[in-house]
């Protein structure tokens, strides 16, 4: 019996991977425009890093982490999200002394033991951004505008929902108001009853329709935040207006991680069923210090690449296809020898070139060239070799021209390059 991949772990095969490359290339180009630096961090970390940052009573830490004992008994966890690891790396490498404001991004797999479904996997991928060292509200707006621009340049649309969760000074007052309300609420689900005791804010994130119905009357956090948080939120909204990014305030959005303070946001779509968030993030002032680093503020977001790929696949023709430049059609041993050297020279010169090393018939090779969607075919057999001329065929408009065979393949490849790349 063959061994299959784990449930919730997916291969991304040719035919699918082009969408992923498009997403990644688009995002990288935008990160560059916003002057971000890439950081690569390990997938495996000490479990306590995530427990301390994400929070002991969150869904992720309570039931979704891939945690196991290493051979020497220490508890390790496959990262369920990127922020904790990037912050650990920021502290450990003393990045705050290299730049007062660090603008970082990372792209890679995350692991959560969830029930697999469309847009929800156990190994999934995020592109995430962390800006450390500033709490200016205009930075918050710029971060959201960056996420927005990624979607826009991918040809996708989603709505931006924003909220403020206040700070450690004003959160307790809201928690108290929420607890008073929850004390009177009836027939809450088991999860909410538990959260009411452990982490009341999290009840607002409940997926049960019955609970949500009751929470419509819950107190709004925006009525409880302190003046400085309210001013900050006001300035964030002004920033979004200045950047012409449309948004809606959703005072019930609380996010699933404990570390958020002040601005939080989600990019939501109705095109993916229950998996409506394509990206999410927020401010986490205090988290770096909590992890043992300097007391610098921070903000970040993550976009789910599976969900972006699903959205792109729903819109046919939205992913540009990169086709090969040249098929070297060589017929007979002498032409095969020449073609073999030319194909390599063409690749060195910068062309995406293909050749059939099995010397099949002209018809067969032309069929392969068509199937590969190459832009040009260079055809040479015994006659062409003796005349010193090969045929270059434009596969799109079928125009053909004779071109001189150059004995020096490197020079010939350069000549071909200028004919093929126009």
Q: Which residues pair with 120 in a beta bridge?
A: 117
For ligand ATP (CB under 6 A), the number of binding residues is 18
Part of the chain binding ligand ATP (CB under 6 A), chosen from 163-171, 187-195, 270-278, 334-342: 270-278
Part of the chain binding ligand ATP (CB under 6 A), chosen from 213-221, 292-300, 304-312, 365-373: 304-312
Part of the chain binding ligand ATP (CB under 6 A), chosen from 26-34, 275-283, 317-325, 333-341: 275-283
**Do 76 and 46 contact (CB within 8 A), yes or no?**
yes
What is the distance between the alpha carbons of residues 277 and 275, in angstroms, rounded to a whole number? 6
What is the distance between the alpha carbons of residues 186 and 213, in angstroms, rounded to a whole number? 11
Distance of closest approach, residue 16 Cβ to ligand ATP, in angstroms: 15
Part of the chain binding ligand ATP (CB under 6 A), chosen from 129-137, 153-161, 302-310, 380-388: 302-310
Distance of closest approach, residue 297 Cβ to ligand ATP, in angstroms: 19
Q: Is 81 in the site for ligand ATP (CB under 6 A)?
A: yes
SS3 125: strand
Tell me which H or E stretch contains 233: helix 227-242
DSSP character for 251?
T
- Spatial strand order in the sheet of 37-38: 37-38, 102-111, 123-132, 298-304, 277-283, 261-268, 159-164, 248-249
Distance of closest approach, residue 324 Cβ to ligand ATP, in angstroms: 32
Distance of closest approach, residue 257 Cβ to ligand ATP, in angstroms: 6
Which residues neighbour 287 within 8 Å (Cβ) at sequence distance 6 or greater?
53, 83, 87, 259, 298
Among 302, 311, 326, 377, binds ligand ATP (CB under 6 A): 302
Q: Is 277 in the site for ligand ATP (CB under 6 A)?
A: yes
Q: Is 304 in the site for ligand ATP (CB under 6 A)?
A: yes
Q: Is 258 in the site for ligand ATP (CB under 6 A)?
A: no
Chain residue whose CB lies nearest ligand ATP? 304
124/284 with CB nearer ligand ATP: 124
Q: Is 279 in the site for ligand ATP (CB under 6 A)?
A: yes
119/166 with CB nearer ligand ATP: 119
121/143 with CB nearer ligand ATP: 121
Distance of closest approach, residue 280 Cβ to ligand ATP, in angstroms: 4
- Spatial strand order in the sheet of 66-69: 44-46, 75-78, 66-69
Beta-sheet strands, E only, within 70-122: 75-78, 102-111
**Nearest residue to 233 via CA among 251, 245, 208:** 251
Half-sphere exposure of 282 (CA within 13 A, CB side): 27
**Nearest residue to 376 via CA among 343, 345, 361, 398:** 398
- CA–chain centroid gap for 105, Å, is 10
Distance of closest approach, residue 352 Cβ to ligand ATP, in angstroms: 32
Annotate 407-422 with DSSP letters as a single string: SSHHHHHHHHHHHH--
Q: Is 159 in the site for ligand ATP (CB under 6 A)?
A: no
What is the distance between the alpha carbons of residues 363 and 368, in angstroms, rounded to a whole number? 9
Distance of closest approach, residue 311 Cβ to ligand ATP, in angstroms: 10
Distance of closest approach, residue 361 Cβ to ligand ATP, in angstroms: 47
Site string for ligand ATP, 210-249 (x = CB under 6 A): ----------------------------------------
Please give the residues from 102 up to 141 whose contact with ligand ATP meets the rule CB under 6 A. 112, 114, 119-121, 124, 126
Q: How many CB atoms lie within 10 A of CB 217?
A: 9
Distance of closest approach, residue 41 Cβ to ligand ATP, in angstroms: 16
Tell me which H or E stretch contains 311: helix 305-314
Distance of closest approach, residue 267 Cβ to ligand ATP, in angstroms: 7
Which residues bind to ligand ATP, rule: CB under 6 A? 81, 112, 114, 119-121, 124, 126, 256, 275, 277-280, 302, 304, 306-307
């Amino acid at each position: 019996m063959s061994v299959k991949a784990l449930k919730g772990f997916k291969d991304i095969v040719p035919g699918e991977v082009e969408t992923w490359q498009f997403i990644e290339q688009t995002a990288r180009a935008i990160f560059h425009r916003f002057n971000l630096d890439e950081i690569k961090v390990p997938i495996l970390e000490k479990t306590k890093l995530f427990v301390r940052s994400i929070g002991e009573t969150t869904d992720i830490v309570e039931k979704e982490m891939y945690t196991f004992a290493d051979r020497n008994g220490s508890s390790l966890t496959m990262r369920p999200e990127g922020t904790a690891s990037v912050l650990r790396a920021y502290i450990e490498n003393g990045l705050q002394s290299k730049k007062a404001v660090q603008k970082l991004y990372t792209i890679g797999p995350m692991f959560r033991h969830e029930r697999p479904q469309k847009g929800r996997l156990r190994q999934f991928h995020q592109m995430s951004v962390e800006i450390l060292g500033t709490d200016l509200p205009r930075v918050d707006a710029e971060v959201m505008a960056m996420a927005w621009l990624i979607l826009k340049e991918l040809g996708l649309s989603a709505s931006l929902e924003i909220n403020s969760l206040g700070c450690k000074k004003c959160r307790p007052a809201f928690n108290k108001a929420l607890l008073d309300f929850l004390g009177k609420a009836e027939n809450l689900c088991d999860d909410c009853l538990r959260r009411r005791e452990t982490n009341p804010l999290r009840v607002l994130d409940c997926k049960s329709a019955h609970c949500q119905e009751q929470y419509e009357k819950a107190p709004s956090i925006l009525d409880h935040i302190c003046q400085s948080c309210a001013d900050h939120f006001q300035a964030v909204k002004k920033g979004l207006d200045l950047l012409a990014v449309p948004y809606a305030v959703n005072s019930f959005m609380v996010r699933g991680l404990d570390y958020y303070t002040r601005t939080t946001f989600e990019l939501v779509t109705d095109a993916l069923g229950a998996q409506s968030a394509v990206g999410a993030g927020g401010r986490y002032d205090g988290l770096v210090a909590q992890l043992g680093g300097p007391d610098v503020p921070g903000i970040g977001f993550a976009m789910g690449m599976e969900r972006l790929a699903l959205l792109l696949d729903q819109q046919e023709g939205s992913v540009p296809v990169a086709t090969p430049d040249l098929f070297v059609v060589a017929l007979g041993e002498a032409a095969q020898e020449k073609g073999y050297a030319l194909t390599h020279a063409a690749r060195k010169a910068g062309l995406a070139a293909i050749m059939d090393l099995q010397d099949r018939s002209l018809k067969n090779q032309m069929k392969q060239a068509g199937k590969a969607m190459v832009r040009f075919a260079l055809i040479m057999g015994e006659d062409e070799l003796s005349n010193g001329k090969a045929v270059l065929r434009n596969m799109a408009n079928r125009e053909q021209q004779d071109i001189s065979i150059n004995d020096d393949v490197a020079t010939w490849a350069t000549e071909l390059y200028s004919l093929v790349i126009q």
